[in-house]
Amino acid sequence: MAIPLVPKLLRAHLAELAENDARIDGRQQWEGRDVEIETSVLPRAEGSARVRMGDTIVFAGVKFQIMKPYSDRPNQGGLMCSAEIRPVAGRNWESGPPSPESIELGRVVDRGIRESGCIDVDALCIIPGEKAWQVILDLFAISDDGNLFDAFALAGIAALRNAVVPAERFEVGEDYSLGVSKTPIMCSYHKVGDRFVYDACGREELGGDERIHITLGDDDHVHSLQKGLKGIFSTEEFTEIMGRAQERSKEIRDILDSL
């Protein structure tokens, strides 16, 4: 990713807004943008979703491959999650090998989904030691106006929830629904002008400091955490955003369940 210029004026403006308990797009400190989720949107994918949060738009697509199980886990299939942010998504994203930013995005989303145990990897085994399903979740950004993390995580779990294992095409039985037993939800908080805000937009990311990502499972169990970018935060600050994440993740889970 090209390092964009961070205008001092933008940083000063964001700091002033924060002091007055305001945000650059008029939202409250913990208010998220409207979330739109559409599923089964990609005809060639076995599961798919499109998520829109403000001007951030992403797709997630699930594909399946047959793999040889790892020798230390002969009864398990696999899950692979990768994020691609190509130049289509914004003027600062460049073509070329995956950038550290997109690798971090893919890995943090991957950990939240994997560690929640929402996918039964034992059920992905076809013949122990010989054949198993590999689930591949590809995350693809179309428009980056901030907080790709939450958009990717949400599109990812939504796509997995409607994925169908293409067993007929691979001649190993009949097609069946992948089945996702849990719904991990990621909530991201950015330090903007000396305080954390939820669901930063592009300008807040550009003129902000560190960010914290929290993935919570159905029963508020913590499945992944990540602190990114330069910045210092306190236990009090973290405790507050953890509480906010518990509230917000329930709301997002309700949106998903209502689809």
By CB under 8 A, name the binding residues for other proteins.
Answer: 2, 42-45, 48, 55, 57, 59, 61-63, 65, 82, 84, 86-91, 95, 97-98, 136, 138, 140, 142-145, 169, 202
* Least Å from the CB of residue 241 to other proteins: 26
Q: Measured between alpha carbons, how far is 64 from 127 in angstroms, rounded to an integer?
A: 16
Q: Measured between alpha carbons, how far is 73 from 52 in angstroms, rounded to an integer?
A: 38
* Least Å from the CB of residue 89 to other proteins: 7
Q: Measured between alpha carbons, how far is 229 from 87 in angstroms, rounded to an integer?
A: 22
Give the nearer residue to other proteins in terms of CB position, either 8 or 44.
44
Give the nearer residue to other proteins in terms of CB position, either 44 or 230.
44
Residue 122 token pair: 């034992």
Give the nearer residue to other proteins in terms of CB position, either 167 or 222.
167
Residue 202 token pair: 């592009």
Residue 14 token pair: 């964001």
* Least Å from the CB of residue 42 to other proteins: 6
* Least Å from the CB of residue 19 to other proteins: 28
Rg (CA), the chain: 19
Give the nearer residue to other proteins in terms of CB position, either 113 or 216.
113
Question: Residue 150, by phi and psi: left (phi above 0), alpha (psi -120 to 50) or beta?
Answer: alpha
Residue 250 token pair: 């329930």
Q: Measured between alpha carbons, how far is 111 from 103 in angstroms, rounded to an integer?
A: 12
Q: Show the 3-state SS of 212-252.
A: EEEEECCCCCEEEEEEECCCCCCHHHHHHHHHHHHHHHHHH
Query: Which stretches of the chain are DSSP H helices?
Result: 8-19, 100-116, 148-161, 202-206, 235-257
Give the nearer residue to other proteins in terms of CB position, either 20 or 26.
26
* Residue 240, amino acid: E
* Least Å from the CB of residue 102 to other proteins: 10
Q: Measured between alpha carbons, how far is 54 from 151 in angstroms, rounded to an integer?
A: 10
* Least Å from the CB of residue 218 to other proteins: 27
Give the nearer residue to other proteins in terms of CB position, either 33 or 191.
33
Give the nearer residue to other proteins in terms of CB position, either 68 or 250.
68
* Least Å from the CB of residue 188 to other proteins: 18
